[in-house]
Amino acid sequence: MKFVSHLDMNRFMIRTVRKAKLPIWYTEGFNPHPYITFALPLSLGFQSSYEIMDIRLTDDNYDINGICEKLNAVCPEYIEFFDACEPILKTRAVAFAHYNITFDDNKKILSLFLEFLNKESITVSKKTKKGDIKQFDILPKIKDLDIKEKNGNTHLSLTLPAGSTDNVNPELLITAFYEQTNTDYYCYSVERDLILDENLKPFR
Amino acid sequence: MGDKRLEQLLLTVQKPGRYSGGEINSVIKDKSAVDVRFAFCFPDTYEVGMSHLGMKILYSLFNEREDIWCERVFAPWIDFEKVMRENNIPLFALESRDSIKDFDFIGFTLQYELSYTNVINMLDLAKLPLKASERHSISPIVVAGGPCTCNAEPLADFVDIFFLGEGEQSDLEVIDLYKKFKANGGTKEQFLYEASKIEGVYVPSLYDISYNIDGTVKSITAKGDAPKTIRKRIETDLDNTYYPDKFVVPYIEIVHDRAVQEIFRGCIRGCRFCQAGYIYRPVREKSADTVNRQAKAICESTGYDEISLSSLSTSDYTEIEPMLEEMLSWTEKQGVSLSLPSLRIDNFSPELLQKINHVKKSGLTFAPEAGTQRLRDVINKNITEEEILNTCKTAFEGGYTAVKLYFMMGLPTETDEDIKGIADLAQKIVDTYYALPSKPKGKAVNVSISVSNFVPKPFTPFQFHPQITREEIIRKQQYLKECIKSRKITFNYHENKTSFLEGVFARGDRKLGEVLVSAFKKGCRFDGWDECFDLEKWLCAFSECGINPEFYANRERSYEEILPWEHLDYGVTKKFLICQNELAKKGETTPNCRQKCASCGANIFGKGVCFEKR
Ligand code: SF4
């Protein structure tokens, strides 16, 4: 699913919900479409094991317990629904996300990355919505950083701000590492495994 | 190339979803458990190819068989081609990501002439020798089907087998023959000879072409006991013809992102410029029950909330009203919207209009094709101005305010009077709107005119005609622009340099194979895409090969001339086409198949509209 953009994911979910025959609520107006949103859009190229999707049904008394089963029955095995519940928090409450990054490097960059993270500051550049480049120090933004060897490769896990107020993509750190240390390039994969609120509690 | 590296590279190109596979309903098999691996190649982008119905049908048909694994391949866009070449990635199939070089079959579908350089490029990206004669081993066999095979002579040097007509049966027969050869041993030559005996199978290497001094074809000679003429194959009973109950549903948005239900093949009309109207003859319909049953299944398995009906001239379907009624009864309940392309106006009843209206209010489109009645008679487009204006009136009363009109430019016998007629007709539609007492207040009407360039095609009555030159097109476009006086009329045109090339290849012969290679080497691909098409490179390629493209595009053919496709039999006879061309010159029309059989020759297939009671 890595190559599925956020918009594509939305369309995929609409078809899935239709196939599962859930009584989905359609928006009104000239071009009615089903109401489906994600708490935090996923960047192209990332994998995820924790996503929150908000859908609206026409029937308030619809049995919520059977929903996951119905959705899983019409989904490929690489997409699985775990739980369904009434909405608790608003999307606005998303504040952080946790990522796992695995390099395909035979541990070659473990020590280099550790050294890199020990610097006073790490300046990264980010394109703003307006299109200009903004530079900032990424170090103070990082929480729960852990870097270690896993299955013979370098494994990095960290929490970064996410959501509508401040959003920091972990790619910024990796790009900065490669650019600023001139290290040989190794493939890596990024997985997002948690979406968190401001108290670093799982968002739901 | 490891999967991880490939995936990382994919993230550097536009729309990586074009190349990643894994879509819903795509078919994964155990490659050690199948006998035949088939790479179904669409020589255009993923978004275009995935919208194509023929590919969906054959993909599912092949994969129904346990011994065949059919996978999809599309032309990589320029950015990914660069990445592939730089990183030495061979052309791979989406499902397995295996290089297609090692497949048993590589099958192209030829939908338009301007995809020919993509065919060459894809063979090259697959790291295969381009020429069929340089691929000695029995696999892969390169095959091609689709409408262009009615004259794909420019590709004759590169393709081992062309399928003429509808491929459902002949494809599988060739695959079965191949399996026999693979089990028992045998050379590629022997295999091709045997294959040529299957109806609908054309093996170009088994025909010698000689030319006259002036460049025209002198003779077409079959080698050995290969058939002298090759007849296309068709399905005679569409209710019992395979139709998929699943479509692969892409993640990324494609051109036609919806369910598609075929309702009939062929067309009764016989518009003289329209190749589809002749090469798909005779008309064969599916019953309304079949249509509804199949359409329901597709919607269920895909989750699509839109379905369109597919056919030429949809409103000619004999059971259109009961079929639509039944369809609307379930689509409405399931929140599926129905779209009906290619409706003709001459049997567009107010009731029908009402029913469609029910579902979705899209614009109103007509294709009068020519601006005057005289020229419409020449091309056998049996629509009168009165009918057009009446339908517009009904539509305006029903709340429509936008009308789209499609025309062609450069039709045989066309004069400036006919060009002016386009503007006049549009003006009359505008006037009709303003003459309506019930016209909606404060809303303006918009009539948009789209004009494409006429390209003479094989197996049409106009196959003998010269295509008009680019200079003449530009002059006519300019003239039309001057004729349009109202600001309520928009005229969409772009220079359209591609139609010249399309005209060259549509009626081309084998000598053009060399030009294709030369153009490919200069970097020509995606010629149907404005951002890629480069006429200069093409002109260079022609002159390098000592070939005058005007010989193909702008030359009139005599009835006696042996045409490069003369050994191919599509039912419709040359005699009939000549007769139609003569009628065209006199401005005489021909009734449609349901009014009166015009004895075109397509009744040879023994089924369809030719045998309906009139
Ligand atoms: S033989 Fe007659 S009815 Fe049949 S397709 Fe030709 S013109 Fe139409």
| SS3 labels along B270-325 | CCCCCCHHHHCCCCEECCHHHHHHHHHHHHHHHCCCEEEEECCCHHHCCCHHHHHH
Q: Is the CB of B609 under 6 A from ligand 1?
A: yes
Res B359: pLDDT:
46
Structure tokens at B22: 């894994």
Cis peptide leading into B282, omega within 30 of 0?
A: yes
A171 to chain B, closest Cα gap in Å: 12
Q: For domain B234-362+586-614, is the CATH number 3.30.750.210?
A: yes
- pLDDT by residue (tens digit) across B215-236? 999 999 999 999 999 999 999 9
Residue B56 has pLDDT above 50, yes or no: yes
Range from A109-113, B77-81, B92-96, B163-167 carrying the lowest mean pLDDT: A109-113
Q: With CB atoms and an 8 Å threshold, state whether A187 touches B5.
A: yes
Of B382 and B529, the structure prediction assigns the larger pLDDT to: B529
Residue of A3, A72, A79 to mutate, testing the B interface (most B Cβ within 10 Å of its Cβ):
A3
Q: Is the CB of B545 under 6 A from ligand 1?
A: no
B21 to chain A, closest Cα gap in Å: 9
pLDDT band at A81 (very low <50, low <70, confident <90, very high): very high
The pTM (predicted TM-score) of the whole model is 0.91
Res B8: pLDDT:
85
Res B358: pLDDT:
47
Same domain, A60 and A137: no
Structure tokens at B46: 């993923």
Nearest CA in chain B to A45: B11
Task: Please indicate, yes or no, if residue A82 is contained in any of the structural domains.
Answer: no
Res B478: pLDDT:
93
Same domain, A105 and A25: no
pLDDT band at B354 (very low <50, low <70, confident <90, very high): low
* Cα–Cα separations (whole angstroms), residue B577 to B147, B462, B609: 18, 8, 19
Residue B344 has pLDDT above 80, yes or no: no
Task: Please indicate, yes or no, if residue A85 is contained in any of the structural domains.
Answer: no
- CA dihedral (A101, A105, A107, A110) in degrees, to 10, reads -50
Q: Which of A47, A73, A99 is the C-terminal boundary of a domain?
A: A73
Whether the CA torsion A84, A85, A86, A90 is positive or negative: it is: negative
Residue B178 C-beta-side C-alpha neighbours within 13 Å? 25
* Distance from the alpha carbon of residue B604 to the mean position of ligand 1, in angstroms: 9
Of B202 and B343, the structure prediction assigns the larger pLDDT to: B202
Res B337: pLDDT:
84
Residue B598 CA, closest ligand 1 atom number: 7
Helix (H) or strand (E) holding B388: helix B385-397
Q: Is the CB of B265 under 6 A from ligand 1?
A: no
Residue B1 has pLDDT above 60, yes or no: no
Residue B560 has pLDDT above 90, yes or no: yes
Task: Please indicate, yes or no, if residue A158 is contained in any of the structural domains.
Answer: yes
* Distance from the alpha carbon of residue B115 to the mean position of ligand 1, in angstroms: 31
Residues of A in contact with B252 (CB under 8 A): 4-5, 8
Task: Please indicate, yes or no, if residue A136 is contained in any of the structural domains.
Answer: yes
* Cα–Cα separations (whole angstroms), residue B57 to A73, A187, B540: 25, 38, 39
Q: Which of A73, A107, A128 is the C-terminal boundary of a domain?
A: A73
Q: With CB atoms and an 8 Å threshold, state whether A3 touches B302.
A: no
Same domain, A67 and A114: no
Residues of the domain holding A55 = 6-73
Task: Please indicate, yes or no, if residue A37 is contained in any of the structural domains.
Answer: yes
Task: Please indicate, yes or no, if residue A81 is contained in any of the structural domains.
Answer: no
Which of B536-549 are b and which e, b meaning 16 or more Cβ less than 10 Å from the residue's Cβ? ebbeebbeebebeb
Superfamily assignment of B3-231 in CATH?
Answer: Cobalamin-binding domain (3.40.50.280)
Residue ranges of domains in chain B = 3-231, 234-362+586-614
Separation of alpha carbons B504 and B507, rounded Å:
6
- Residue whose CA lies nearest to ligand 1 atom number 2: B597
Query: Residues of chain B with pLDDT > 90: what percent?
Result: 78
- CA dihedral (B486, B487, B491, B495) in degrees, to 10, reads 110
Same domain, A188 and A103: yes
Q: Which of A40, A73, A106 is the C-terminal boundary of a domain?
A: A73
Residues of A in contact with B253 (CB under 8 A): 7-8, 11
- Residue whose CA lies nearest to ligand 1 atom number 5: B282
Taking residues B388-404, what's their average pLDDT?
A: 83
Q: Which of B312-326, B401-415, B435-449 has the highest mean pLDDT?
A: B401-415
A21 to chain B, closest Cα gap in Å: 9
Same domain, A22 and A114: no
Cβ atoms of B70 and B58 closer than 8 Å: yes
Separation of alpha carbons B39 and B448, rounded Å:
42
Residue B525 has pLDDT above 90, yes or no: yes
Q: Is the CB of B572 under 6 A from ligand 1?
A: no
Residue A153 has pLDDT above 70, yes or no: yes
Nearest CA in chain B to A22: B334
- In the chain, the amino acid numbered B431 is D
Q: Is the CB of B234 under 6 A from ligand 1?
A: no
Q: For the residues of A45-89, what is the DSSP string, one character each?
A: T-EES---EEE-BS-TT--GGGHHHHHHHTS-TT----------S
Res B392: pLDDT:
85
Taking residues B423-442, what's their average pLDDT?
A: 86
Cβ atoms of B202 and B162 closer than 8 Å: yes
Nearest by CB to residue B7, choosing from A2, A14, A26, is A2
Q: Is the CB of B282 under 6 A from ligand 1?
A: yes
B300 to chain A, closest Cα gap in Å: 6
Query: Residues of chain B with pLDDT > 70: what percent?
Result: 95
Same domain, A174 and A132: yes
Q: What residues pair up with B402 in beta bridges, in sequence order?
A: B446
Q: Which of A6-10, A178-182, B380-384, B509-513 has the highest mean pLDDT?
A: B509-513
Residue A165 has pLDDT above 90, yes or no: no
Q: Is the CB of B578 under 6 A from ligand 1?
A: no
Q: Is the CB of B284 under 6 A from ligand 1?
A: no
Nearest-CA neighbor of A192 among A38, A42, A80, A84? A42
Three-state DSSP class for residue B405: strand
Task: Please indicate, yes or no, if residue A78 is contained in any of the structural domains.
Answer: no
Q: Tell me, what CATH number does A143's domain have?
A: 3.30.70
Nearest CA in chain A to B258: A15
Residue B543 has pLDDT above 60, yes or no: yes
Cβ atoms of B450 and B367 closer than 8 Å: no
Cβ atoms of B571 and B605 closer than 8 Å: yes
Residue B609 CA, closest ligand 1 atom number: 3
Total structural domains within chain A: 2
Same domain, A130 and A163: yes
Task: Please indicate, yes or no, if residue A83 is contained in any of the structural domains.
Answer: no
**Which residues of B88-241 form beta strands (DSSP E)?**
105-109, 141-145, 161-163, 201-202, 207-211, 217-222, 230-231
Separation of alpha carbons B125 and B119, rounded Å:
10
Q: What is the mean pLDDT of chain A?
A: 89
Res A63: pLDDT:
85
Cβ atoms of A133 and A127 closer than 8 Å: yes
Separation of alpha carbons A196 and A39, rounded Å:
11
Q: Is the CB of B597 under 6 A from ligand 1?
A: yes
Beta pairing, strands B364-369 & B36-42: unpaired
Residue B30 has pLDDT above 60, yes or no: yes
Same domain, A118 and A188: yes
Cβ atoms of A183 and A169 closer than 8 Å: no
Whether the CA torsion B524, B527, B532, B537 is positive or negative: it is: positive
Same domain, A18 and A58: yes
Res B349: pLDDT:
60
A58 to chain B, closest Cα gap in Å: 13
Same domain, A61 and A143: no
Q: With CB atoms and an 8 Å threshold, state whether B303 touches A187.
A: no
Residue B197 has pLDDT above 60, yes or no: yes
Cβ atoms of B328 and B355 closer than 8 Å: yes
Q: With CB atoms and an 8 Å threshold, state whether B24 touches A76.
A: yes
Separation of alpha carbons B193 and B226, rounded Å:
7
- Residue whose CA lies nearest to ligand 1 atom number 6: B600
Q: Tell which one of B593, B607, B612, B613 to mutate to probe ligand 1, the residue whose CB is within 8 A of the most ligand atoms.
A: B593
Taking residues A181-185, what's their average pLDDT?
A: 87
Taking residues B262-280, what's their average pLDDT?
A: 95
Same domain, A64 and A100: no
Q: What is the mean pLDDT of chain B?
A: 92
Cβ atoms of B443 and B402 closer than 8 Å: no
Res B347: pLDDT:
53
Residue B415 has pLDDT above 50, yes or no: yes
Range from B39-53, B223-237, B439-453 carrying the lowest mean pLDDT: B439-453
